[in-house]
Amino acid sequence: MKQIDLLIIGGGPAGLAAAAAAYESGCRDMLILEREETLGGILKQCIHNGFGLHTFKEELTGPEYAQRYIDKILEYGIPYQTGAMVIEITPEKTVTCVSREKGLEQFSARAIILAMGCRERPRGSLGTPGWRCAGVYTAGTAQKFVNLQGLMPGKRVVILGSGDIGLIMARRMTFSGAEVLGCVELMPYSAGLKRNIVQCLDDFDIPLYLSHTVIDIEGKERLSGVTIAKVDGDLKPIPGTEIHFDCDTLLLSVGLIPENELSEMAGVKLSPATSGAIVDDRLMTSVEGIFSCGNVLHVHDLVDFVSQESARAGENAAAYLEGRLDICAQRIPVVAGSGVNALVPQYISQSANCPTTIMFRPRAVRKNAVVRVCVGDEELLRKKYRVLAPGEMVTMTLPADFMQRQAAQAQGAEVLVEVLE
């Protein structure tokens, strides 16, 4: 068994940013374990632009954004292993990994950063009636076929769900010579970024069917058509509103699920709201020395935020390894009030003396809404938004000194985040 200070599970945007930040904070004995053959994670197949505006103040494509971080890893000389699949993590932080080059290896780590990302919600979990034919793919699978393998999954395409990958694939399939007949969204609003609706659907006159869903999938062998219908307030299809499409492909972009099987093996407690780990403001999970960041913690809409968050995980892991992290500090809970979903972090330690970032997703579309953060009776922050939508994450930064305030010191104190109409 090899002893190591810090293991980073995953070499995608989260793992790379965490590793670079940990190095910058002084950590040297570390290793990135990446299951694919090259670093970069999902960014390798996200060949569209729109990445890096926050981080690099320029508009990059996914592979370019990843390369910036890969270059850093190379420059720092941070060791990484590709083709290395972690198959087990114990609560004692023993990590088992397999790779073709090194066979089965075991590490005993002092700290671990979980950065495994997320997976797409599959058709099966939707319970959509119809045939189980070829031609039904998640948008990400189709993206891999086209962008990485040069293979076309179909010619006439309907997209179910308006998640960003689905929208991006509407444009990519159009660019690649396929015909995209429509994008079908169950909710009355899009799940993706507004800019993607404009430049991936509107630009090419691809209709967006809000409050619609697929009610039948046809084709014994290869998909031959789908039927969609409008849904009522309870999201149930309304008879008489059916529209039929002749198509050979149905792409699904119906949600992302943090991939926390390894976290659970390690005894990390998960939040039902995010499906990711429950963490404090330092991004430490319920298991001491195990940190979580990026899409395995909660699904982000922008990679820039993944990098920022993961850098904090890296810094904190380095601090933890040097004994600079006050792990005994009292923690106060952060509570999701009305209109707030998928809140992260769930706890703030009372030793926090730097600006603390809180992220969440609004439960519904709200116009002219106010987000308020309180501790006890004291209002810490109040911010106005012209539009809030579940598709777009809200980030709030709490003042550095708030923990020193009286209300935060009180018995049973908690931070409440809520959306006011």
Select the residue interacting with another protein from 301, 326, 378, 414 (CB under 8 A).
301
Nearest distance from residue 96's CB to another protein, in Å?
7
CB nearer to another protein: pick between 108 and 176? 176
Least CB distance to another protein at residue 304 (A): 9
- For the chain, the residue count is 421
Adjacent-strand bridge partners of 311: none
In the list 41, 130, 161, 345, the residue contacting another protein (rule: CB under 8 A) is: 130
Q: Identify any residues that bridge with 91 across adjacent strands, giving them in sequence order.
A: none
Binding status of residue 240 toward another protein by CB under 8 A: no
From the CB of residue 405, how many other CB atoms can be counted at a distance below 10 Å? 15
Out of 77, 150, 233, 412, point to the residue binding another protein (CB under 8 A).
150
- Using the contact rule CB under 8 A, the part of the chain among 214-222, 325-333, 356-364, 409-417 near another protein is 214-222
Size of the site for another protein (CB under 8 A): 76
* List 3, 220, 233, 240, residue binding another protein (CB under 8 A): 220
| Shortest Cβ 420–another protein spacing (Å) | 21
- Is 161 a binding residue for another protein by CB under 8 A? The answer is no
63 touches another protein by CB under 8 A: yes
Count the neighbouring beta carbons within 10 Å of the beta carbon of residue 263. 26
Nearest by Cα to 251 from 309, 189, 185:
185
> Strand (E) positions, 161-293?
179-184, 208-209, 212-218, 225-230, 243-246, 249-252, 256-258, 290-292
Question: Should residue 212 be labelled a site residue for another protein when binding is judged by CB under 8 A?
Answer: no
Among 143-151, 280-288, 313-321, 338-346, the segment contacting another protein (CB under 8 A):
143-151
Is residue 127 near another protein by the rule CB under 8 A? yes
> Hey, which residues between 5 and 44 contact another protein (CB under 8 A)?
35, 44
Peptide bond into 258 cis (omega under 30): no
**Looking at residue 299, what DSSP letter applies?**
-
Q: Residue 15, SS3?
A: helix
Contact residue for another protein among 16, 17, 31, 147 (CB under 8 A): 147
* H or E element, residue 56: none
- Measure the CA–CA gap between 349 and 347, rounded to whole angstroms: 7
Residue 96 Rama label (left phi>0; alpha psi -120 to 50; beta): beta
Q: How far is the CB of 235 from another protein (least distance, A)?
A: 13
- The three-state secondary structure class of 184 is strand
**How far apart (Å, rounded) are the C-alpha atoms in residues 32 and 18?**
10
Q: Does 79 bind another protein (CB under 8 A)?
A: no
**Binding status of residue 239 toward another protein by CB under 8 A:** no
Written as one letter, the residue type at 293 is C
Q: Which is nearer to another protein, 337 or 390 (CB)?
A: 390
Contact 360, 343 (CB under 8 A): yes
What minimum distance in Å lies between the beta carbon of 394 and another protein? 11
User: Does residue 72 belong to the site contacting another protein (CB under 8 A)?
Assistant: no
Q: Is 55 in the site for another protein (CB under 8 A)?
A: no
Angle, alpha carbons 165-166-168 (nearest 5°): 65
Site for another protein in 337-366 (CB under 8 A): none
Strand partners, 107: 2, 95
Site for another protein in 375-414 (CB under 8 A): 386-387, 392
Among 28, 29, 53, 232, the residue binding another protein under the rule CB under 8 A is 53
Q: How far is the CB of 128 from another protein (least distance, A)?
A: 8
List the interface residues with another protein, window 241-270 (CB under 8 A): 248-249, 259, 261
Interface residue with another protein, options 24, 25, 47, 335 (CB under 8 A): 47
Asked if 37 and 83 count as a contact pair (C-beta separation under 8 A), the reply is yes
Q: How far is CA 112 from the centre of its chain?
A: 19
